[in-house]
Amino acid sequence: MASEPTDHESSSADVEAPGSETGGPVPRSRFWGWAVGLLAVVLAGSLLANWGQYQLWQLLAEEPREVFHSGEEDAEAKLAILPINGVIMPPLTGRVLSIVDRIEKDKSVRGLLLAIDSPGGLVADSHQIYHRLERYRSKTGNPVFVTMSRMATSGGLYVAMGGGPQVRVFAEPTTWTGSIGVIIPRYDLSGLASELGVNSDPLKTGPLKDSLNPFRKLSDQDRVVWRAILDDAFDRFVGVVATNRPRLDEAGVRRLATGQIYTASQALENGLVDELGYEEDAIAALRSQLKLARARVVTYRSRSNWIDLLLGQSRSPGSSELFREWLEGGVPRAMYLSSWGSLPPPILD
């Protein structure tokens, strides 16, 4: 017959080893191991999600979105409207070039309408768009028309010439255009600096390395150098307009190229535009020239703006970005811009 367990044996059997599978508290080391593992999984998932969002943003930001505008939505032939709104500088330049690339690849597009509302912008960017439109016409043979809304001054007019000598330029009755010329903004702060006891003394390798330094007067040598740069850009502007406006030769363009802004009526009289009318008039004229009984008119929008909002890309600039912007603020920029000398902020779609 089995004997009853002693009190000592009974109490020992009732007490289980700490952390055993049948109960009891979890050791602190094991708890933190689980916590760290869970945190690692969460962080890895977050990184993968953010990476995926970034890749999605990159993909969609680079690809403009086609939007139906008017006409017959089921028509095979397309007329494409290319919006050029705001100051011609990055990021607008890249978006416009990206849209032209897409339009060029679309074999159903039969004609292109530039819809311009711009005071102009950087010399280089204006010429990049103009040059790309020349390539588009050469490669596709499609006609390019222009419609001007509020303003198409300076670089806006320069870009409009990308339609070529056969382009038909429509301007709304209230449009401003013209302002043929070049400007490099500069501020002379030498007097103020002297009053404040500020002396600019950069270490440089040549007398022109700090040319356009706002804390000193321009030297005669400075003026000669920058005059040559201005004249080069100005002569190119005059040549582009003279080449693409049938009623104007070089001498005629130079008479108009005082930097003056012209009203739509004045521009029509001087041969800068061909007709007073609206976007719908330009579309009708383009459609008529192509003899299209049915046409789907489309335009394009950049996806990056709503993607930025969706993914929360907007944030305060860091110190490195502020320093970069400060450096860029001192970079000389030649502009085909209707302005007294300050660079307005870009207008984004």
Query: What's the pLDDT tens digit per position in 132-172?
Result: 999 999 999 999 999 999 999 999 999 999 999 999 999 99
Catalytic residue among 118, 126, 149, 154, which? 154
Give me the pLDDT at residue 330, please: 54
Residue type, 227: R
DSSP annotation of 161: G
- Give phi and psi for 72, each to the nearest 5: -95, 110
CATH of the domain spanning 64-313+332-337, picked from 3.30.450.20, 3.90.226.10, 3.90.105.10, 3.40.50.300: 3.90.226.10
Q: Are strands 109-118 and 144-153 parallel, antiparallel or unpaired?
A: parallel
pLDDT tens digits along 228-281: 999 999 999 999 999 999 999 999 999 999 999 999 999 999 999 999 999 999
In the numeric block, the tokens 């070089």 are attached to 250
Catalytic residue among 12, 46, 209, 265, which? 209
In the numeric block, the tokens 């711009």 are attached to 118
Buried b (16+ CB within 10 A) or exposed e, 76-111: ebbbbbbbbbbbbbeebbebbbbbbebbbeeeebbb
Between 18-22, 174-178, 180-184, 287-291, the lowest mean confidence (pLDDT) is in 18-22
Terminus-to-terminus CA distance in the chain, angstroms?
Answer: 95
Buried b (16+ CB within 10 A) or exposed e, 27-50: eeeeeeeeeeeeeeeeeeeeeeee
Length of the chain as a residue count: 349
Give me the pLDDT at residue 346, please: 41
Give me the pLDDT at residue 190, please: 82
- Give phi and psi for 114, each to the nearest 5: -85, 120
* Residue 71 Ramachandran class (φ > 0 left, ψ -120 to 50 alpha, else beta): left
209 labelled catalytic:
yes
118 labelled catalytic:
no
Where do the domains of the chain lie?
64-313+332-337
